[in-house]
Chain A
Amino acid sequence: MFDFLDSGQYDLLGAFWVTVRLTVYSAIGSLIWGTLLAGMRVGPIPLMRAFGTGYVNVVRNTPLTIVVVGCSLGLHQTLQITFGGGDSADIGFRMAVLGLVAYTGTFVCEALRSGINTVPMGQAEAARALGLGFFQVLTLIILPQAFRSVVAPLANVLIALTKNTTVASAIGVAEASLLMKEMIENEANALFAIFAVVAFGFMVLTLPTGLLLGWVAKRVAVKR
């Protein structure tokens, strides 16, 4: 029943490795981008606030599929923007990461913003009383505490990101779900086995992440 695994025709581990790489790069990128967006949204400069709010509302309501396909068909194939060339697999991978970062960053931003709201007002007031400017208040006082309280929501964003990497198959990135589609079409009699194996692979990626980060969240949460 599982003999499709031994045929050597399908690189299942390789496909999941692409999924993992997509997840890791996008996670780092969207953490940075989301933090920047959150900083803009709570900052004193109206123009940046407006940009942050507008960006989040627009991108969050766009399907990820459209964002990723737009990066691939629009930026790459039409405008020939490739961010450093390479073969089409490299470019496709990069476009998928770009789309995932642009999309997931908005959810990181919203999670962080709700984390900022959990920090008691007295913290920022004390910091301002000491004469710290906005940037210092944010980076030295507020964000370190906010991050500790949003580990659990960010873990959920990370899990969702892991699952969302499958959208990259829409632009032909050779990750796990694309391989599954290919295998299913070639080995129709092993349909259930193939689905079980790929689903198991995703559970191996998502469930431990949730458990581990849930434990971390409890450890680092600020006791108030």
Chain B
Amino acid sequence: MTSVLYDAPGPKAKRRNIVYSVVFLLAFALVAWWVLSAMADKDQLAAEKWSPFVSDSRVWTTFLLPGLWETVKAAAFAVVIALPLGAVLGIGRLSDHAWVRVPAGAVVEFFRAIPVLLLMVFANQAFALFTDIESEIRPMYAVITGLVLYNASVIAEIVRAGILSLPNGQTDAAKAIGMRKGQTMTHVLLPQAVTAMLPALVSQLVVIVKDTALGGMVLGYGELAYQARTITANYGANIIATLTVIALIYILLNSALTRLASWLEQRVRQGKKGSGTVVAIEEIDTGVGSKV
């Protein structure tokens, strides 16, 4: 599609492209050399800064893997609790009764308009004041609460978009055979909407996983990003090596989720069963920047 933007290169354009490539490569190499020489200057390329990640299995068993487990745990709890909440809010927003629709809309808009970090910090302090959750596990509760409140409102929008994406004929047909509104929703619309919104839900998981890192760095929840502190404290000042490895783990995990989401989207689009409508991942992630 995008190749429509330029002609197939002729001999002259090919030569020019090579020149551009070389210039780009030189610029890239220059930046890389600058960074690497700065790292070499400060001893960051020394083997003992990086070798623990390959040779010392304890880095993985005591820090990285438990951290990853905490990340996955928080993300899983958040999504499991946020899903039903989001579904209720999303369906509530489509209600015929203003006294249901308006409050549901207000809740959704409120929690989407404020940063998730605010919610986490607030929840952390609220738990400290009003509950007797022990201080070691309090950050986890705070992180999950923040993620649930924020993502329930995002999921509400996904559910709403999923239901609205279905053809009108579905509702009309349900009415024609005498179904009540509740029956139409639970027997006709929701089952189809679930397949339509599955890809968007999976790609929302990426956002949740990324947001857990916030809880580690700001509230001290012992998830993957937090382990940067413990590892550098135990293995010498190797923050660059540590952050690189941690970032790689996140990238692998999130790439897998992203790929799963686009595979699901393709499957739903091509599937013979169901309405074939799908809540486009792109469409949803523009919903007040839920994916950013």
Contact = CB atoms under 8 A, between A and B. Distances in A.
B177 interface: no
Given A66-B243, A78-B239, A191 B5 contact: no
Interface in B17-57: 17, 20-21, 24-25, 28, 35, 38-39, 41-42, 44
A157 B2 contact: no
B2 A42 contact: yes
Contacts of B288: 156, 159-160, 206, 210
A29 interface: no
A212 interface: no
Interface residues of A, number: 72
A44 interface: yes
Contacts of B239: 73-74, 77-78
Interface stretch (A4-12, A55-63, A86-94): A55-63
Interface string B115-128: 11110011001100
Given A137-B6, A157-B292, A195-B122, A66 B240 contact: no
B135 interface: no
Given A70-B240, A207-B109, 4 more contacts: A63-B250, A134-B6, A157-B289, A166-B118
29 contacts: A44-B17, A48-B20, A51-B28, A61-B250, A61-B251, A61-B254, A62-B250, A63-B210, A63-B214, A65-B225, A66-B213, A73-B243, A74-B239, A78-B239, A79-B39, A79-B240, A125-B4, A134-B6, A164-B292, A166-B115, A184-B121, A184-B125, A188-B129, A191-B125, A203-B114, A206-B113, A206-B114, A206-B288, A210-B288
Interface of B: 1-2, 4-7, 9, 13, 17, 20-21, 24-25, 28, 35, 38-39, 41-42, 44, 109-110, 113-118, 121-122, 125-126, 129, 206, 209-214, 216-218, 225, 228, 237, 239-240, 243, 246-247, 250-251, 254-255, 258, 282, 285-292
